[in-house]
Structure 1
Amino acid sequence: MRKSRPAISATTVLLLALTGCSSAVDAGKLLPPPPPSTASSSSGGGSTALGTNPLDNPDGTKPGLGPITSAQDLAKARELIARVRTAGKGPKTGYERSKFGYAWSDAVDGVPLGRNGCDSRNDMLARDGRKLTHKPGSTCIVTSMTIYDPYTGQTVAWTKEHASKVQIDHVMPLSYDWQMGASHWDETKRKQIANDPLNLLPADGSQNAQKRDYGPASWLPANKAVRCSYAVRFAQVSLKYALPVTTADKKVMLAQCGG
């Protein structure tokens, strides 16, 4: 005789609900942070659940921004930041976002992922997000995902209906770039720094709003674990585009990595 299946208890139903068996994703809902990776944090360790060590990601094509913790990598971080040139800020006069091209344009030459058929915002969501869903008929437009935000240390469930919950931060802000020398560039170079994956990082919208166009001396991520990594990424952009930082910013950048 065929055995009947045991009835599902109310307790089991409750456990299923609590463990997230629903397929719905609540926009902006904070999830438990991913468990720390057991991979080495030394250079060459690659990407982990908490993002990529920036020393292992010189072109910005690997996901996220992972912490730098080993003594060896902290020394390398200080050496990289030490190479950054310093200068005083120029005037903000004449700055407009449009001077750096149409926002999130794909029509940019000379940067990774340029002209790949997807705009740079969706490229960054796809680079750093997990469990992606896309708009029907599109392979580019991300409509939901989970993403680890390095600036807060939280994993967020995100949907396009509440797009501003996750914003794309220009690590080296465009207004800052303008004041440090980009005002003298042609539009082609300004479009590159505005859409270069090295200078783009999906992050918590409120953190991005707090940052404004400040350098590291005036703003650092709330998550202290990535402050050295943030300083390294700021330095990587500075060096790639031959833009100086202020003396105060460089001092703070070095301090985040033990300098």
Structure 2
Amino acid sequence: MGKPAWLLVLMFMVAGCGVIGLDEPVVPAPGSPTRAEVTALLDQVRVIDARPRPGGYERGCKTGQACVFGPAWTDDSDAPGSHDGCDTRNNVLAMQLREVVHRGRCVVVEGTLTDPYTATDIPFTKSDAGRIQIDHVYPLAAAWDMGAATWTPDKRRRFANDLSVNLLATGATTNQSKGDDTPAEWLPPARPNHCFYAAKYLTVAVAYDLPITVADNAALHEIARGCP
């Protein structure tokens, strides 16, 4: 099934809508998902009372660590784009940055990111690679708590490397501030980006049958009311 038009546009543009709790209107950016599109996703997602805390989440893959989502940015998964000889991080950078310069076929060494969470331009160079990180829109730790703890290792590797729905390049500070928060706890700093984020988060949840909490549901419905 093809991607909806708004999702194709949002791969290259920063989208927007209103923000929770603020009275002044925000003009949605071109390419924003509509209220109807966000609401349709909300109608499909499961809602649970609160985030479970089953324990056992360990991302690290060093000796003695659980490595529950597989090695970071592995090319060895059944996620879209895998097994192309390039690691997932470089694939995401190549997709999202503009004016990209490669070393060899895979390694991105230069480019510019329009951060989908802050709407600011961030220059990227390989020598300062840590300035840009790759965010899991639906965080790995949250996914683990919400059901991924029962998935097969193959499905968890796919989820962690699925650049078709769940991965966005963003500034390191923004990514670290987000952590494993869900929409009731964190929204993009740029007010015009909330519709984009809501639709993106819900797209992941629906694709992987992951639930959202009652608090997330309320926050996302509030965002939807401000979408075009």
After TM superposition, the score normalised by the length of structure 1 is 0.73
The structure 2 residue matched to 1:77, chosen from 22, 38, 63, is 38
Residue identity over aligned pairs, in percent, reads: 36
Matched to 2:160, the amino acid is A
Q: Which moved more, 1:147-156 or 1:70-79?
A: 70-79
Deviation, structure 1 residue 81:
1.8
Secondary structure of 2:47 counterpart: coil
| Aligned match of 1:149 | 115
Matched to 1:159, the amino acid is T
| Aligned match of 1:90 | 52
Deviation, structure 1 residue 67:
3.3
Q: Are 2:134 and 1:168 equivalent residues in the alignment?
A: yes
Secondary structure of 1:243 counterpart: coil
Q: Are 2:66 and 1:66 equivalent residues in the alignment?
A: no
Secondary structure of 1:100 counterpart: coil
Residues 92/209 of structure 1: CA separation in 2 closer, same or farther (3 Å cut):
farther
Deviation, structure 1 residue 92:
4.6
Secondary structure of 1:158 counterpart: strand
Runs (5+) with no aligned partner, structure 2:
18-27, 60-66
Q: Are 2:90 and 1:128 equivalent residues in the alignment?
A: no
Secondary structure of 2:141 counterpart: helix
Runs (5+) with no aligned partner, structure 1:
1-42, 54-61
| Aligned match of 1:38 | none
Matched to 2:81, the amino acid is L
| Greater RCO (CA < 8 Å, at least 6 residues apart) | 2
Number of positions where the alignment pairs a residue of Structure 1 with one of Structure 2: 202
Secondary structure of 2:211 counterpart: coil
| Aligned match of 1:215 | 182
Residues 132/194 of structure 1: CA separation in 2 closer, same or farther (3 Å cut):
same
Matched to 2:187, the amino acid is L
Residues 46/89 of structure 1: CA separation in 2 closer, same or farther (3 Å cut):
closer
- Between the aligned partners of 1:139 and 1:65, the Cα distance in structure 2 is 27
After TM superposition, the score normalised by the length of structure 2 is 0.83
| Aligned match of 2:20 | none
- Between the aligned partners of 1:167 and 1:210, the Cα distance in structure 2 is 12
- Between the aligned partners of 1:169 and 1:46, the Cα distance in structure 2 is 17
| Aligned match of 2:23 | none
Higher radius of gyration, 1 or 2: 1
- Asked whether the equivalents of residues 132 and 144 of structure 1 are also in contact (C-alpha less than 8 Å), the reply is yes
Q: Are 2:49 and 1:104 equivalent residues in the alignment?
A: no
Deviations along 1:75-116, one digit per CA (max 9) or x if unpaired, are: 22112123211123221510011200000011111x211111
- Asked whether the equivalents of residues 33 and 195 of structure 2 are also in contact (C-alpha less than 8 Å), the reply is no
- Between the aligned partners of 1:127 and 1:157, the Cα distance in structure 2 is 15
- Asked whether the equivalents of residues 14 and 114 of structure 2 are also in contact (C-alpha less than 8 Å), the reply is no
